[in-house]
Amino acid sequence: MTASLIAYPDPAIGGGYFLLLAGPPATLAGRQPLKREVVLVLDRSGSMRGGRLEQARRAASEILGSLQPGEDFNIIAYNEAVEPLAPRPLPVTEANLQQAGRYLLD
């Protein structure tokens, strides 16, 4: 683990501010990366009409396209009701990604 701390003491307020940046080492020699489980929440309400909804769909497609075999995903859309793509996260397979693509266009 690596970390950097930037502190800004402010005696006028009896405290101050800080920024802590932390992250894993750049290389994890001999280790497999952690598998992700991604749940996308998509607002399909009237406030998303026009370009906003299309932008959200494109972003969701980009995220789904970045998933690797062994990872899981789900999509939850809402407007008047909450509508999940599936009752539980789905494994990344070509068929499931195609199903997700169709779901995003509905």
Give the CA count within 13 Å in the CB-facing half-sphere of 49.
2
> 22-68, pLDDT tens digit by residue?
887 777 666 777 789 999 999 988 888 878 888 999 999 999 999 99
Q: pTM for the complete prediction? A: 0.68
Calculate helix-pair angle for 94-105, 51-65, nearest 10 degrees.
170
Among 53, 51, 103, which residue's Cα sits nearest to residue 73?
Answer: 103
Q: Confidence band (pLDDT; 50, 70, 90) for 19?
A: very high
pLDDT at 98 over 90: yes
Superfamily of domain 37-105: von Willebrand factor, type A domain (3.40.50.410)
- Using an 8 Å Cβ cutoff, are 90 and 75 in contact? no
Q: Confidence band (pLDDT; 50, 70, 90) for 10?
A: confident
Q: Where are the chain's structural domains? A: 37-105
